């Protein structure tokens, strides 16, 4: 169950950190214990509180993209406008304190975040390593997927290729096969979990092959290493396996990008398509194409491009005053400041702060001109945007920092950045797919209105 107060979350984090004992349970076995409790909770909500009012629908919701409208069940995370994202009540800082890292590393890894998102529980070291091994053993791509990717023109956008690869993997769907056999509804979640784990396991190899084909054609691809975690394998297959700092950054990036409640475009799209009982592969492929839009997942590359253009214009001696002038130039031209503002948040994005803290611990990053520019921009931009007065949230979101670190470590291909986002967002979207099937959520079908119908309702 979600907890909104930071005090409760800190206590939960402390309690969980004190209970790290050896365990041999798999994530499925833990879910078999958790699912009935969640099903009972939903049943009680339906029977006892189905008429409770959560808010009201206004015309601004209908014509403004449903922003802020409380109309969607999403189990793993809740986004608070002031506190930021919480995963089953835990903040990013809480997660950094209690979720297991990779051997020899310090940052959260995808497997420990996935375990938390799926079960609401903190995994032990043993459970995390077991899940890493399980995913690594499933991580190789089928030959037909390799041939499909290798046949695509390298000029085709990497996100288009990623969506195609994920959709084609539905040939392997256990959920689809079981549905066609005629299984009971209360068994849906088990096959959904199998598909979700299979897809998560193969995403690194899928994404790495796209990177190789587009940017390093002909270069050999390493096999999946059964002793590495998911992101460790991903970094290795990208060709950066010997770069410990980049691997650690990717671990942090993918973990904290894994879920951001359900209202964002990629999560919502995946949830909508999944509500038709399309399998996890098709559901997430749809979410990836929502992520590919410039108002969503492409934002990090746009921020980096804008910051590099600013650096070029301002030269070597960049000051707060020169940044301020550049910001006003951008605003007066009718453009927005990339990486600032958020549809929900009204404070600096905790994910941005986590990435900034990562930079602060590494001298090479602190000396990087682009990283310095990002930090100086953060020191100036909020005041400028407040003075400008047209931005509800004048603070940075995660995109303000994410791309510059990738660029520093040599991953300089802008178009590929959203693919990394796509690998990460699967954690949350596939978690919700499992829970949607476990809770028996119906097909999503909101009521639409024409402008004439809206005006008629207003008059009535």
Provide the sign of the torsion angle of the four alpha carbons 352, 405, 343, 122, taken in this order: negative
∠ CA 453-457-460, nearest 5°, is 140
Q: Beta-carbon neighbour count of residue 305 at 10 Å?
A: 13
- Active-site hit among 229, 342, 368, 408: 342
What is the SS3 assignment for 90?
strand
Task: For CA atoms 364, 366, 367, 373, give the dihedral sign.
Answer: positive
Q: Has 296 been annotated as catalytic?
A: yes
CB 261 within 8 A of CB 78: yes
User: To which H or E segment does residue 260 belong?
Assistant: none
Q: Any catalytic annotation for residue 271?
A: no
Task: Give the C-alpha separation, 141 to 69, whole Å.
Answer: 40
Tokens linked to 108: 């959260």
Out of 88, 260, 399, 408, the active site residue is 399
- Are 341 and 397 in contact by the 8 Å Cβ rule? The answer is yes
Evaluate whether 121 touches 19 at the Cβ level (below 8 Å). Answer: no
Nearest by Cα to 229 from 327, 303, 151, 135:
135
Instruction: State both tokens at 74.
Output: 């999403």
Nearest by Cα to 350 from 1, 9, 121: 9
Q: What is the DSSP letter of 261?
A: -
Phi and psi, residue 77, nearest 5°: -150, 155
Tell me the backbone φ, ψ of residue 375, rounded to 5 degrees.
-65, -45
| Active-site position among 80, 157, 245, 296 | 296
* Residues with a known catalytic role: 296, 342, 399
């Amino acid at each position: 169950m979600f907890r909104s107060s930071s005090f409760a979350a800190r206590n939960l984090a402390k309690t969980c950190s004190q209970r790290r004992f050896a365990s041999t349970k798999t994530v499925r076995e833990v879910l078999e214990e958790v699912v009935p409790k969640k099903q009972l909770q939903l049943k009680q909500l339906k029977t006892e509180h189905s008429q409770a009012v959560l808010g009201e629908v206004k015309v601004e919701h209908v014509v403004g993209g449903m922003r802020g409208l409380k109309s969607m069940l999403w189990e793993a995370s809740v986004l608070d406008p002031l506190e930021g994202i919480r995963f089953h009540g835990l903040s990013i800082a809480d997660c950094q304190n209690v979720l297991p890292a990779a051997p020899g590393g310090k940052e959260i890894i995808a497997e420990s975040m996935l375990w938390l998102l799926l079960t609401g529980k903190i995994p032990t070291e043993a459970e995390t390593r077991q899940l890493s091994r399980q995913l690594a053993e499933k991580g190789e791509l089928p030959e037909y997927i390799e041939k499909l990717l290798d046949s695509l023109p390298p000029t085709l956008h990497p996100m288009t290729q990623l969506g195609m690869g994920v959709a084609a993997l539905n040939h392997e769907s256990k959920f689809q096969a079981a549905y066609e056999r005629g299984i009971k509804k209360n068994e849906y979640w088990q096959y959904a979990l199998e598909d979700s784990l299979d897809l998560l396991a193969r995403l690194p190899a899928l994404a790495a092959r796209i990177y190789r084909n587009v940017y390093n054609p002909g270069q050999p691809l390493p096999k999946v290493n059964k002793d590495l975690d998911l992101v460790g394998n991903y970094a290795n297959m990208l060709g950066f396996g010997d770069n410990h700092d980049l691997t650690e950054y990717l671990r942090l990036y993918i973990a904290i990008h894994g879920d951001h409640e359900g209202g964002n475009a990629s999560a919502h799209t995946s949830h909508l398509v999944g509500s038709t009982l399309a399998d996890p592969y098709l559901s997430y492929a749809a979410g990836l194409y929502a992520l590919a839009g410039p108002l969503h997942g492409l934002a990090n590359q746009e921020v980096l491009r804008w910051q590099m253009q600013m650096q070029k214009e301002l030269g070597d001696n960049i000051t707060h005053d020169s940044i301020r002038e550049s910001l006003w130039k951008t605003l007066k031209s009718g453009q927005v400041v990339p990486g600032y503002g958020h549809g929900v948040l009204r404070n600096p994005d905790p994910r941005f702060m986590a990435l900034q803290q990562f930079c602060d611990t590494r001298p090479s990053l602190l000396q990087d001109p682009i990283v310095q520019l990002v930090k100086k921009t953060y020191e100036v931009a909020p005041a400028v945007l407040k003075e400008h007065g047209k931005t509800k949230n004048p603070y940075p979101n995660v995109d303000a920092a994410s791309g510059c670190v990738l660029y520093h470590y040599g991953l300089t291909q802008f178009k590929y950045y959203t693919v990394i986002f796509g690998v990460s967002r699967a954690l949350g979207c596939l978690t919700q797919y499992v829970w949607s099937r476990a809770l028996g959520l119906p097909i999503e079908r909101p009521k639409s209105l024409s402008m004439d119908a809206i005006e008629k309702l207003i008059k009535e």
